Amino acid sequence: MRFFSARICSIAGRHHATDDTGELPVIVATHGAALTIQLAKHMKRKLLLSSFPRLPAGALTGLCWGLFGLWLCGPVQPLLAQRTLAIVDARIETAGKAGVIDNGTLLVRDGKITAVGSDVQVPVSAQIIQANGRTVTPGFVDPYYVVPIGRKTQSSAVRTIVFRGRTFIIGGSSPSIATTFAKVADGWDPTEIDWSVARRSGITTLHVVASGYAQSLLAKTGRDAAQITKADGSLLVSVTNSTKSLNVLRVGMKPPSSSSRSSSSRSSSSSRTTGAPTSRPTSTGSAPTSSSSSRTSPTTALWADVRSGKAPVFVNVNNAAAILHVDQVMSEHEKTKVALITSGANAYLAREQLDPKKCTVILSPRISEVPNSRYRINVPSLLASRKVPFAFSLSLAQTEFRQAQDTPLFGLAVLVRGGLDRQQALRALTIEPARLLGVDKQVGSLEVGKQANFLIFDGDPLEPTTALDRVFVEGKPLDES
């Protein structure tokens, strides 16, 4: 391919140039800062010129613009919308098998990663982001992002509290765990939630949950609001020391007995014979029962998946004793997987009961205090030494989450300096929660074929002076407006 002169003039808002012979115009299309040259003359030029008599320059120009129109309407047109993005000269922490790549290149096309490595060939037409001195990581996956869904968990009654000899009357009864089933996708309003905190913290995939007994959903971070990617998520249960909350887990883990099925079939047969109406299944969605009505409830399939080990159950426990209760219930089921959402202190107290084969601990990335003492403990490092899987939720401690937007990984940096392996810490924010949620084939690491959800930091992400520069979801930047 020969080089062409820079004689460019404007025609109908587009650009064209002539080659160094002056015989045939060259189509030039501009897109942003990139100048892409589409050469009409190299479509069998010799055949074209030998088949037609020499035409005036104006006629040749018209012919080439006609070819350009066909090019826009033909199969080449989609290539304009499928631009390639290249992040070059970056330190890439893949959270995958490739590990850390220095002076690496990340190639993105159609929202997917097409190449990552230190010797990637960058196409001439690619949009290039120079990332020298910067670090690229996968977008963070938050495994427990709580949102309100409009249900109440406390009554309008008043309660009396005595503090240091003074009596206070407070509206509302003591907060209780919701034991009626709710589906997050049916109750949330994404327009009423401030998603900018998640975006500025680098969270690109969210496991959106509600407190109490519910079914979650999966979403991706958007520029203005989160967008649902999977409406039917995992089963959520909150357990305290109260029997009512624990019964949701106990009853749900019991499969329908054969006696119940035979009893219900006899009841159905009797109703058809006598014409007597059968009892209707309850629509409250409360703790499932082993009666025939449970087979028609929306939770039946969810509990069946949990019992078979097909999907984990996410259990929010507010103290160490609740962890022991959950462990006792789950110990009777070999295939069951459970994700325990708790504090570092509670996980430390119940560490002996955490089964590495069944349990994954979800906690906030920070140093914890040993209860009733002044000692501090690096709980994730302790869990790693005991081979207990764990994942981090940046949003679990809401106050710190909102206050640490400028340095979202400060707590993680403290854990790493306290002995937690750096790569294991990064994996607990990315691929480990993705694997727990069953989306590790799509997100969680920078590998070929996965969605291009990634972050660009202006330095080492674990340094206190480093800032999160840009957030990309499926190859598109979520820049602040």
Q: What pLDDT sits at residue 403?
A: 79
Q: Indicate the helix (H) or strand (E) that contains 47.
A: helix 45-51
Query: Where would I find the H helices in 238-371?
Result: 243-252, 258-274, 300-308, 320-330, 344-349
Confidence of residue 93 (pLDDT cuts 50, 70, 90): very high
Quick check: 367 pLDDT over 70?
yes
Per the structure block, which two tokens stand in for 402? 């909102």
pLDDT in tens, 414-446: 999 999 999 999 999 999 999 999 999 999 999
Mean pLDDT of 270-289: 45
Check residue 401 and give its pLDDT: 84
Mean pLDDT computed over 198-207: 95
CB 146 within 8 A of CB 102: no
Q: Residue 272: exposed, middle, or buried by beta-carbon count in 10 A (0-12, 13-18, 19+)?
A: exposed
DSSP 296: G
pLDDT at 192: 85
Residue 288: predicted pLDDT: 57
Among 480, 361, 461, 435, residue whose Cα is nearest residue 133: 461
Per residue in 46-87, pLDDT (tens digit) is 444 444 455 565 665 666 666 556 555 555 444 444 589 999
Cα–Cα distances in Å, from 299 out to 8, 143, 153, 282, 303? 67, 21, 20, 12, 6
Among the ranges given (61-70, 247-256, 271-280), the one the predictor scored with the smallest mean pLDDT: 271-280
pLDDT digits (tens, 9 = 90+) for 390-411: 999 999 987 788 877 788 999 9
Give the 3-state secondary structure of residue 107.
strand
Could you tell me what percent of the chain has a pLDDT over 90? 54
Looking at the predicted structure, is the pLDDT value of residue 91 above 70?
Answer: yes
pLDDT-derived band of residue 124, with 50, 70 and 90 as boundaries?
very high
Range picked from 31-40, 62-71, 471-480 for highest mean pLDDT: 471-480
Average model confidence (pLDDT) across the chain: 78
- Please state, as a whole number, how many other Cβ atoms lie within 10 Å of the Cβ of residue 337: 18
Strand pairing class (217-220; 227-230): antiparallel
Least confident window among 22-36, 103-117, 217-231, 258-272: 22-36
In angstroms, rounded to a whole number, what is the distance separating the alpha carbons of residues 151 and 140? 29
Mind listing the domains of the chain with CATH numbers? 8-80 (no CATH), 83-139+444-481 (2.30.40.10), 141-145+177-267+283-443 (no CATH)
- pLDDT tens for residues 228-243? 999 999 999 999 888 8
Which band of pLDDT confidence, cut at 50, 70 and 90, is reported for residue 271? very low
Binned at pLDDT 50, 70 and 90, residue 223 comes out as confident
Q: What is the pLDDT of residues 133-173, one digit of tens each?
A: 999 999 999 999 998 886 544 444 455 565 555 656 555 44
162: left (phi over 0), alpha (psi -120 to 50) or beta: beta
Tell me what pLDDT residue 37 has: 39
Q: Helix, strand or coil for residue 256?
A: coil
Instruction: Record the tokens describing residue 354, joined without a space.
Output: 């955490």
Which pLDDT belongs to residue 245?
A: 87
